[in-house]
Amino acid sequence: MSTHTLHFQPRQARAQRTRLARLGDMMARQRGRIALLQWAIVGLYFVLVAAPAFLPMPPEEARMFNSLTRFAQFAFWGIWWPFVIASMLLVGRFWCGVMCPEGALTEFAGRPGKGRPIPRWMRWPGWPLVGFLGTTLYGQLISVYEYPGPVLVILGGSTVAAVAVGIVYGRGKRVWCRYLCPVTGVFALLARLAPLHFKVDRTAWDMQPANTPAVDCPPLLNVSALASASQCHACGRCSGHRDAVALRWRWPGSEIVRSQSGDVGRYEALLLFYGMLGFALGAFQWTMAPGFVRAKQWVATWLVEHDILWPLADNAPWWVLTHYPQASDVFSWLDGAGIVAWLVASALLVGGCAHLATVLAARLARADWKVLALGLVPMAAANLFLGLSMLTLTQLRSEGIEFGWLPQARVALLLLAWLAGIALGVGQLRRMDVRGLRAAAAAVLLAGAAALPALLWVRTLDLLRAF
Ligand code: SF4
């Protein structure tokens, strides 16, 4: 190929860039403006996380429009989190790359330092699972959705850790986000469904001189080999690089259908089964579960009969177990143990059943169970969105805002997630060329794996009464 061709093709490629690709290029050019937006969000984040913890507890009748504490509660748990989850499904990890205050802070904190080499222990792929389970459990024990002190401990603690990791290991990159953030594993799974992604054209990439400067990729990705949206923060910095990277549309879920053995790790699949499905379901539902109250009463009676009274004491500090006597909200050690047991049991029941059904389906299809597990991403997303939006709706109800169509919308969401999961599973089986009875039986097992969490939601929220 002549030198002329080498120089002509990239210019031609630039001219042919779609409107979407040009939007990505604009993100690469507007780094200063994106940084301003990030600092504005950092400021808002500090006000919402820190200020309410130093204010007196609002009275019972306080509302989000006249109490910063109530407003912050609604902003965080009612809007911020449910819509961050929803955004992952639509635009991938755009939130991480462009809006996350923790990501911006860890990157900024690491800029001046040389940064130590990232230690081996930090690269252990199980941290996202441990981080998600740990923060979910701790959040339930100290009632993070209800009170500002626990928000400061959990979110503020995570931010302090992110900054510390940035200072010690960062070198201006997002080491924290890549390896240790408690929600990075969840976001990495959800982003695989997104219809928007940055795509690398390897042919165009290879046509450029080898000494082209490397792209400044915050989560330390090898951009030339970018094949998944899971770890890409969609920050846009690589858009147009070597005339080979562009923001593109794809079919939602197409990455999951195309996934092969090696594209998904064991801990990612375990996070999906036991974390996002089982543990999270337990965390959202234990306060509404009659079985939880019955089991706790039974244990309390047994303890009293055997004269073992210390587990009934409520003397734990608020940062160990919920302790707000002024709001008549105090957990005993038995309450704490009950929550731990309920969440673990929920993870084992829901996650274990889904895991078993997926492993059996994989045996039938002679496929990798971790790949088939990705078909459960839509149900895991619906689970998280439904649970978090419950808080939104409770808060809106206390403001007198109610939605009559809610039960039908919830059933529709669960049905959509279940059908999407089946479609992904069938798509994967077809791509693997699994046919006939084996394919049908595997598809039934995958449908069953996604059905249990949906049925538990229907039962807990008594959704069928609306029909
Ligand atoms: S590959 Fe890296 S630089 Fe490119 S958009 Fe993703 S996170 Fe940003």
Structure tokens at 440: 């049908």
User: Quick one: pLDDT at residue 464?
Assistant: 59
Amino acid at 175: V
Do residues 264 and 228 make contact, with C-beta atoms less than 8 angstroms apart? no
Q: Whose CA is nearest to atom 3 of ligand 1?
A: 217
**Helices 377-398 and 81-91, interaxial angle, to 10°?**
150
245 alpha carbon to ligand 1 midpoint, in Å?
9
User: Which residue's CA is minimally distant from atom 6 of ligand 1?
Assistant: 232
The residue type of 348 is: L
Ligand 1 geometric centre to CA of 218 (Å): 7
Residue 330: in which H helix or E strand, if any? strand 329-330
Residue to probe by mutation, ligand 1, list 175, 226, 241, most atoms within 8 Å of CB: 226
Tell how far the Cα of 225 is from the centroid of ligand 1, in angstroms. Answer: 11
**Nearest residue to 106 via CA among 29, 191, 218:** 218
List ligand 1's pocket residues with C-beta within 6 A.
97, 198, 215, 217-219, 221, 223, 226, 232-238
With a cut of 90, say whether residue 6 has pLDDT above it: no
Q: What are phi and psi of 248, to 5 degrees?
A: -140, 160
> CB–CB of 118/174 below 8 Å?
no
Query: What pLDDT is stored for residue 426 in this prediction?
Result: 96
Residue 13 has pLDDT above 80, yes or no: no
Residue located nearest, by CA, to atom 8 of ligand 1: 235
pLDDT at 255: 97
Query: Cβ atoms within 10 A of the Cβ of 33, count?
Result: 11
User: 293-320: per-residue pLDDT in tens?
Assistant: 999 999 999 999 999 999 999 999 999 9
- Ligand 1 atom having least distance to the Cα of 198: 5
Tokens of 384: 């998280």
Residue 223 Cα: closest atom of ligand 1: 1
Residue 231: other Cβ atoms inside 10 A: 18
Ligand 1, residue 235: give the atom nearest the CA. 8
Q: Tell me the CA–centroid distance for residue 8 and ligand 1, in Å.
A: 26
What is the overall mean pLDDT for the chain? 91
Q: Give yes or no for residue 14 having a pLDDT over 70.
A: no
Measure Cα distances from 179 to 55, 56, 79, 118 in Å: 34, 37, 26, 10
Q: Which atom of ligand 1 is nearest to the CA of 245?
A: 4
pLDDT at 2 over 50: no
How far, in Å, is the centroid of ligand 1 from the Cα of 199? 10
In contact, 72 and 148? CB cutoff 8 Å: yes
Output the residue whose Cα is nearest ligand 1's atom 2.
217
pLDDT at 193 over 70: yes
pLDDT for position 398: 77
Distance (angstroms) between ligand 1 centre and the Cα of 178 equals: 12
Atom of ligand 1 lying closest to residue 241 CA? 4
Convert 127-155 into a string of H (helix), E (strand) and C (coil): HHHHHHHHHHHHHHHCCCCCCHHHHHHHH
State in Å: Cα 335 to ligand 1 middle.
Answer: 44
- Model confidence at 465, pLDDT cuts 50, 70, 90, reads low
Q: Which segment of 15-19, 239-243, 261-265, 371-375 scores lowest on mean pLDDT?
A: 15-19
> What is the C-alpha separation between 380 and 270, in angstroms, rounded?
12
Contact between 106 and 174 under an 8 Å Cβ cutoff? The reply is yes
pLDDT score for 463: 64
- Ligand 1 centroid–CA 300 distance in Å is 53
In this structure, the chain runs to a length of 467
248 bridge partner residues: 197
Predicted pLDDT of residue 213: 82
State residue 16's pLDDT score: 60
- Give yes or no for residue 3 having a pLDDT over 50: no
* Centre of ligand 1 from the C-alpha of residue 417, in Å: 28
Closest residue CA from atom 4 of ligand 1: 238
Q: Give distance in angstroms: CA of 24 to centre of ligand 1.
A: 11
Averaged pLDDT, 432-444: 95
Residue 246: strand, helix, or coil: strand
Cα separation, 440 vs 235, whole angstroms: 41
Q: Identify residue 23 by its one-letter amino acid code.
A: L
Q: What is the pLDDT of residue 4?
A: 39
Stretch 84-104: mean pLDDT, rounded? 95
Test site for ligand 1: of 94, 228, 231, 235, most ligand atoms within 8 A of the Cβ: 235
The residues facing 249 across adjacent strands are: 196
Task: Measure 217 CA to ligand 1 centroid, in angstroms.
Answer: 5
185: exposed, middle or buried (C-beta count within 10 Å: 0-12, 13-18, 19+)?
Answer: buried
Query: Is pLDDT at 367 greater than 90 in this prediction?
Result: yes
Whole-number Å distance between alpha carbons of 357 and 363:
10
Question: Closest ligand 1 atom, CA of 216?
Answer: 3
115: left (phi over 0), alpha (psi -120 to 50) or beta: left
